[in-house]
Amino acid sequence: YQQNPKTYTIVKQLLAEGNAGELQKYFGSRMEFGTAGLRAAMGAGISHMNDLTIIQTTQGFCRYLEKNFSDLKNRGVVIGFDARAHVSSGGSSKRFARLAANTFISQGVPVYLFSDIIPTPFVPYTVTHLKLCAGIMVTASHNPKQDNGYKVYWENGAQIISPHDKGISQAIEENQEPWPQAWDDKLIDSSPLLHDPYATVNKEYFKDIQKQCFYRNINKETNLKFVHTSVHGVGHKFVQLAFKAFDLSPPFAVPEQKDPDPDFPTVKYPNPEEGKGVLTLSFALAEKDGARIILANDPDADRLAVAEKQESGEWKVFSGNELGALLGWWIFTCWKNNSRDTRAIKDVYMLSSTVSSKILRAIALKEGFHFEETLTGFKWMGNRAKQLMDQGKAVLFAFEEAIGYMCCPAVLDKDGVSAAVITAEMASFLATRNLSLSQQLKAVYEEYGFHITKASYFICHDPKVIQQLFDNLRNFDGKNTYPKSCGRFKVSGIRDLTTGYDSNQPDQKAILPTSKSSQMITFTFVNGGVATMRTSGTEPKIKYYSELCAPPGNSDVEQLKKELDELVNALEKYFFQPDKNKLQRKTE
């Protein structure tokens, strides 16, 4: 019995050809449901995103929520989707969202299903705003066009963390047979349990982010021009509305990229993190319209890249760490100067992930607020921020180096829409002081100490080699000894979050949670350098992140860069050993 003629035809064709290899690929193993939910290519079979796997996943999630919330049928869930679609398998984010809604509604659970595409941060916002039990966003963010994903938020408005992923995963295994009317998504249209939060959330979200608008008069007057690109994703309309909410003139939108297009025709990868390649059309439009600043969202608008034209005529694309430094400085300064917040500075917090720059730590030390680092990923920062807020603390800002920023307490996840408009207000304010973003970044480093970062990765498709590489680091000079130096650089501390060891703690136990399933070791060096090596959860990569933190007053940037380059070269040579381990370098 066929429910989706397109995937059915694909499988029938493979059977007719007797293509066992491809069938094995499609049906050999089920997609794994982790803390990031699902992320895979759209297509036939249980290893791909399709109608059936979405129904099965949602049935499991629904049962898991029923077990955890006695009031699920009063409160309900929210579901949003981006503009992704896959012609050959008939899959699309909208179709998947409707099937998921149908699953919940068939069990008597109210569903707040957005009637149109939205940015990912609107889902966590809605969970919090409407006090729902959970949220689902159907998106593959900045992944290649054939992919899709299913991202899950808990009642606290943050992405799920363990053990929920294991609980949901088990419930999916136990609920694989589609329920009676699972495929008939037309049923939802006449159901009293279906609600559309689109209009309310569009009004309330833009009202809430205005609490971060401090210089309306400057915004009205500024003659600074901005270019915005949504890279064929969902961001265009929402960034335009955000500028309006802050009384800024609308940014010039890159015409070829402003409308959603699941084929992402003008870019190789729809990921603004890839830097200048994705911004080619933005540079051209900025030159034509005399704009000095470019704001680029990824396709689901939860991340933001920023570029600024320098005096030399060159464009500077800020790294995630540099924009994190600027936004951290700006948001703290606005809090200090304009806040109606009566809380003492000792109740103010900022967060960043452990592989991101420690610049916020330096600002916090000097200004007297708290800084905390979390494990990698916004799920950790969102959950920690909620804990702190529940204790009456103010969490002003959180960021990660992968161009993710949380600038508003109303969204406990990264949000590229609020980050874009807050960056625009900061730039407009600085322009009244005749300062560019680059000049202000230098001023931040001069005041709080230069923080130079460098990150890259090696590709390795052999899990055994990866395991060996990390085992070697744990048994470097004989059994159970970590390296005491890396080339000429002496090691002063080691934290291994795979095993839970931390040489800097009195009991040698790491404070951050440990995970045996992924590799992650951080080395601290006598010269003020820090380097983390870790495996990627989603790709065959071993990544490294390095930083040199200088105390204020040491402003010989070239010397610091040279020192960091040498440290990174030593790290690659002695710790990665790319030739011995046959690792493939990141190609520019």
Distance CA 441, CA 448 (A): 11
Please determine, for residue 1, whether its predicted confidence score (pLDDT) is greater than 60: no
The pLDDT value recorded for residue 554 is: 76
pLDDT mean across residues, the chain:
95
Question: Cβ–Cβ contacts within 10 Å for residue 479, how many?
Answer: 7
Q: What percent of the chain has pLDDT over 70?
A: 99
Distance CA 41, CA 140 (A): 9
Q: What percent of the chain has pLDDT over 90?
A: 92
Question: Cβ–Cβ contacts within 10 Å for residue 483, how many?
Answer: 19
Distance CA 118, CA 98 (A): 15
Please determine, for residue 369, whether its predicted confidence score (pLDDT) is greater than 80: yes
Which residue out of 47, 89, 141, 356 is catalytically annotated?
A: 141
Of the CA atoms within 13 Å of residue 81, those in its CB half-sphere come to: 22
pLDDT band at 291 (very low <50, low <70, confident <90, very high): very high
Domains of the chain: 5-195 (3.40.120.10), 198-448 (3.40.120.10), 451-585 (3.30.310.50)
Flag the least confident range among 295-309, 317-331, 553-567. 553-567
If you average pLDDT over residues 274-302, what whole number do you get? 95
The pLDDT value recorded for residue 339 is: 67
Residue 275 CA to its chain's centroid (Å): 16
pTM of the model: 0.95
Is 141 annotated as catalytic?
Answer: yes
The pLDDT value recorded for residue 338 is: 82
If you average pLDDT over residues 311-332, what whole number do you get? 97
pLDDT band at 556 (very low <50, low <70, confident <90, very high): confident
